[in-house]
């Protein structure tokens, strides 16, 4: 089966695959190595990995270097990506910069787990953007999940509190919290995340907490610094790589895991509820290399 992630990586793959195929037919000239280097930089896999791959292409010319590259890439990602919920009830806190896909991903995630049979509550804890609640309301209706919101307060921690109390009362399995977009350099907003985490820690410690950052894959390398800073405030358990459809920059998966130990858990491959899948390391590498 050709899956979404393979299709989504089409733009990344076309350049890379045709170049690798061309190079594997003969000994590689310095000029061609430069072309390969350029193509690799475009995919945003990061400086270290580009150098490693160029070394492989130089050391194993013509026959078999593509295989070596595949093995190298495989060794740099977790073997499996387990998205089973380990302990119920659980919270997924969705954080990230403005427009990175938090609300859409919260909805997709709710639909994903609802389809697996879990009882899901969505919490609209974005009190900044005017239409944020409406947007999540439409999504929750489509996904047929419960939604907790409160348009009267500007304090997201109080909505989180209400949401978790309601989830407790309803015996919800999973609470997915959509938060406001924030720039990692804005201390006040980042401290607001601290407050949400403190409430969970103090009053709802019977919930298992996982925090996920949404990263817009079209942004490329800058998402690494986003993840690094958010990680200091909320101990990220994983990333959701959004907008993988139509970008050639899907490579941040590697530096994210190797530098920050943050695994990509899910990928967004479109704007629909179902344009979402668990990150499959092997399919991802196949998607990149063809
Ligand atoms: N093509 C594509 N578009 C996406 C994907 N995920 C989100 N989007 C679009 O990106 C835009 C922003 O998505 P939101 O979910 O509103 O992002 P957000 O992080 O909640 O934004 P703020 O709340 O304003 O910070 C919307 O137009 C979404 O439809 C994806 O995987 N693929
Ligand atoms: Mg939003």
User: Ligand 1: does its nearest atom lie under 6 Å from the Cβ of 89?
Assistant: no
- pLDDT confidence of residue 145: 97
Q: Does domain 1-290 have CATH number 3.40.50.720?
A: no
Q: How far is the CA of 183 from the centre of ligand 2 (A)?
A: 13
| 96 within ligand 1 shell (Cβ under 6 A) | yes
Q: Specify the pLDDT at position 2.
A: 45
* Ligand 1 atom with least separation from CA of 178: 20
pLDDT at site 25 = 66
Closest CA to 273 of 138, 134, 78, 93: 138
Ligand 1 atom closest to the Cα of residue 242 is 31
Predicted confidence at residue 1, as pLDDT, reads: 38
- pLDDT of 3 reads 59
* Contact call for residues 171 and 133 (beta carbons, < 8 A): no
Q: Which of 110, 156, 242, 264 to mutate to test the pocket of ligand 1 (most atoms within 8 A of CB)?
A: 242
DSSP assignments along the chain, one per residue: ---HHHHHTHHHHHHHHHHHHHHTTSPPPHHHHHHHHHHHHHTT--HHHHHHHHHHHHHS-STTHHHHHHHHHHHTS-S-------SSSEEEEEE-STTSSHHHHHHHHHHHHHHTT--EEEEEE--SSTTHHHHHHHHHHHHT-EEE--TT---HHHHHHHHHHHHHHHT-SEEEEEE----TT-HHHHHHHHHHHHHHHHH-TTSEEEEEEEEEGGGTTHHHHHHHHHHHHH---EEEEE--TT-S-GGGHHHHHHHH---EEEEE-SSSTTSEEE--HHHHHHHHH-
What distance in angstroms lies between residue 122's CA and the mean position of ligand 2's atoms?
13
In the chain, where are the structural domains located?
1-290
Cα separation of 172 and 89, whole Å?
A: 7
274 touches ligand 1 (CB under 6 Å): no
Whether 127 lines ligand 1, by a CB cut-off of 6 Å, is no
Look at residue 194 in the predicted model and tell me its pLDDT. 93
pTM to 2 decimal places: 0.93
Per-residue pLDDT of the chain (290 residues; tens, 9 = 90+): 345 777 777 776 766 777 777 777 667 788 888 888 888 888 788 888 889 888 988 887 666 778 888 899 999 999 889 999 999 999 999 999 999 999 999 999 999 999 999 999 999 999 999 899 999 999 999 999 999 999 999 999 999 999 999 999 999 999 999 999 999 888 899 999 999 999 999 999 999 999 999 999 999 889 999 999 999 989 999 999 999 887 767 788 999 999 999 999 999 999 999 999 999 998 888 887 87
């Amino acid at each position: 089966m050709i899956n979404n992630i393979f299709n989504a990586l089409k733009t990344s793959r076309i350049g890379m695959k045709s170049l690798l195929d061309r190079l594997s037919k003969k000994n590689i000239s310095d000029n061609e190595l430069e072309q390969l280097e350029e193509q690799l930089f475009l995919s945003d896999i990061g400086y270290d990995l580009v150098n490693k791959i160029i070394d492989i292409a130089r050391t194993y010319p013509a026959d078999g270097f593509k295989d070596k590259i595949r093995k190298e890439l495989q060794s740099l990602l977790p073997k499996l990506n387990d998205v089973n919920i380990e302990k119920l009830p659980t919270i997924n806190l969705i954080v990230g910069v403005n427009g990175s896909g938090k609300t859409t991903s919260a909805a997709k995630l709710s639909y994903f787990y609802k389809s697996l049979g879990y009882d899901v509550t969505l919490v609209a804890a974005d009190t900044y953007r005017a239409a944020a609640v409406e947007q999540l309301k439409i999504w929750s209706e489509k996904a047929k999940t419960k939604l907790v919101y409160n348009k009267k307060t500007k304090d997201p921690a109080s909505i989180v509190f209400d949401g978790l109390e309601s989830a407790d009362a309803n015996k919800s399995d999973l609470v997915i919290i959509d938060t406001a977009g924030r720039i990692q350099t804005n201390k006040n907003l980042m401290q607001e995340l601290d407050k949400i985490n403190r409430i969970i820690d103090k009053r709802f410690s019977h919930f298992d907490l996982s925090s996920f950052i949404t990263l817009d894959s079209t942004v490329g390398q800058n998402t690494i610094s986003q993840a690094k800073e958010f990680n200091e405030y909320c101990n990220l358990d994983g990333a959701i790589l959004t907008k993988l459809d139509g970008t050639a920059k899907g490579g941040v998966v590697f530096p994210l895991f190797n530098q920050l130990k943050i695994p990509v858990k899910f990928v967004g491959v479109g704007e629909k509820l179902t344009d979402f899948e668990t990150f499959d390391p092997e399919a991802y590498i196949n998607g990149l290399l063809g």
